[in-house]
Amino acid sequence: MRELASYAATSAGSRGRRHPESTTGHRSEYQRDRDRIIHSAAFRRLEYKTQVFVNHEGDLFRTRLTHSIEVAQIARTMARALSINEDLCEAISLAHDLGHTPFGHAGQDALNDCMKPYGGFEHNAQSLRVVDELEDKYAEFRGLNLMFDTREGILKHCSATRARQLGDVGERFLQRTQPSLEAQLANRADEIAYNNHDIDDGIRANLLSFEQLREVPLFRRHHDEVLERYGDILPKQQRHETIRRIINTLVTDLLDHSRTALQQAGVDSIAAVRALPHPLIDFSPQQRAENDTLKRFLREHLYQHHRVYRMMFKAKRVIRELFAGFMDDPRLLPPDFHASTQQQERDDPELGRARVVADYIAGMTDRFALDEYERLFDPRRLR
C-alpha cells in the first residue's frame, strides 16, 4: 500500500460511520464508500441529468455522470501527487452531485425559489440527504452509511441555519474550521473539470467559437501553443489539444501552490489541517485571477447564451409547475412518496409535504421531469 502523508485522512483517524459496521479485509473503508456510491440509484440517474445542455439535445454532451467521473479522475491524479487519500478523494468526487436537480443550475434555482418558504434548496445539502436518508437498500440503516470524511466532503457549502440541523458534518461551518485536504482537493477538481468541459461542449454545440474564446488569456495562450506546434489541424483537434493543455496547467499550478502552502503551514496531521482558518489546497493568486476571468466569460457567453437561456426558461417552468401541482394535491405523487408526505405531515404538515415533494423532483432525470410534466398537465396524456 502506498504510504500517505501525515496530514492525509485515514479511516483509523476518522469519526467513522453513523451506524457501526464490521470491516472487510480486502477494501479500505473509503473504497467501500466509493463502491456504495457507484451502486446507488442516485448515481445511475446522473446519466440523464444535465450538466449545461438538456439531455435530449445530444448524446455527446456532458451529463452529471460523465462530469462526476471526470472530476474523480482529476482528483485521483492530484491526490496521488500530494500523497493524500486517493480513495476518499474519489468517493467525494463521485458523490458530490448526487443531489442535483434535473436541468442543471436552472432546475436548482427554480426548486430553491419554490422551497424558500420552507428553508430553501441547495444541491450540496441534497447530496448529503441522498447518502444519509434517501437511498434505502440496506436493512439495518437508512442511506449508505458513509464514513464521516466522505459525508463532510460532499457538503461544500452550508448556511449556519442548516449547519445546526446537520450535526457532526455541519460543525465546521459553525466553528469556521476546514475539512480534510481530500475534500478541499475534490472541490478544486470539480472546478477544473466543469470549466474546461463546458468549453468543450460549448464549442461542439456551436455556442462558442475559437475567436470568442481567444478573448480569455488562459485559452489564448494555450491555443497559440497548439497552432504554433501543429499548424492547420482539424478544429476538433485544436479544441482537444488546447483544453488538455489548460487542464494540465491548472493541475500543475494547484499542486505546486498547495505543496508550498502545506510546507509553509507546517501541518503534520489532519487535526492541524482542520484547525486552520483557510484552506491549503488552492491555485496561485495569478492562476486564480485567470480562472475567474474564464468563469465570467462562460457565464456571459455560454450560460446566458440565447439558446441555453430559452431552454432553461422552460426548465424552470417545468420545475415550478410540478412543485405547485404536487403541493396542491400530494395524491399526484407516486404511492411511496404520497405515503411519505402523510408520515412527514404529522409533525409539520406543510414543511413535511414540501420536503418530500422537493426530494421527488430533485431525484428526477431531465427526461422523466419532462414526461411527468406532460402526464400531469397535458390532457391528451391519460397516464
Per-residue confidence (pLDDT) for residue 158, from 0 to 100 = 79
**Integer angstrom CA distances of residue 293 from 105, 196, 215, 286, 289:** 20, 13, 10, 11, 6
Averaged over 156-178, what is the pLDDT? 87
Contacts 24+ apart (CB under 8 A), 306-312: 307/205, 307/207, 308/52, 308/53, 308/207, 311/53, 311/54, 311/57, 312/103, 312/104, 312/106
| Pair 182, 273: CB distance under 8 Å | no
Task: Give 233-247 pLDDT, tens digit per residue.
Answer: 999 999 999 999 999
**Integer angstrom CA distances of residue 28 from 23, 68, 88, 139:** 8, 21, 10, 22
Q: How confident is the model at residue 52 (pLDDT cuts 50, 70, 90)?
A: low
CATH code of domain 29-307: 1.10.3210.10
Per-residue confidence (pLDDT) for residue 349, from 0 to 100 = 78
Q: What percent of the chain has pLDDT over 90?
A: 73
Per-residue confidence (pLDDT) for residue 344, from 0 to 100 = 63
Question: If you ran DSSP here, which 8-state letter would residue 179 be given?
Answer: -
Per-residue confidence (pLDDT) for residue 209, from 0 to 100 = 95
Task: Give 248-293 pLDDT, tens digit per residue.
Answer: 999 999 999 999 999 999 999 999 999 999 999 999 999 999 999 9
Best CA proximity match to 294, nearest among 207, 191, 184? 191
Q: Is the pLDDT of residue 42 over 90?
A: yes
Q: Is the pLDDT of residue 221 over 60?
A: yes
Chain centroid to Cα 166, Å, comes to 19
Best CA proximity match to 180, nearest among 86, 94, 77, 260? 86
Q: How confident is the model at residue 348 (pLDDT cuts 50, 70, 90)?
A: confident
Spatial distance between the Cα atoms of 334 and 350, rounded to a whole number of angstroms = 18
Per-residue confidence (pLDDT) for residue 75, from 0 to 100 = 98
Q: What is the pTM of this model?
A: 0.93
Which residue is associated with the grid cell 482528483? 75
Q: Where in the chain are the domains?
A: 29-307, 309-377
Q: Is the pLDDT of residue 346 over 90?
A: no
Per-residue confidence (pLDDT) for residue 164, from 0 to 100 = 87
Q: Is the pLDDT of residue 352 over 80?
A: yes
Q: How confident is the model at residue 50 (pLDDT cuts 50, 70, 90)?
A: confident
Per-residue confidence (pLDDT) for residue 347, from 0 to 100 = 65
Spatial distance between the Cα atoms of 30 and 10, rounded to a whole number of angstroms = 9
Angle, helices 235-265 vs 181-204, to 10°: value is 160
Q: What percent of the chain has pLDDT over 70?
A: 95
| The dihedral formed by the CA atoms of 235, 238, 240 and 243, expressed in degrees to the nearest 10 | -130
Per-residue confidence (pLDDT) for residue 187, from 0 to 100 = 96
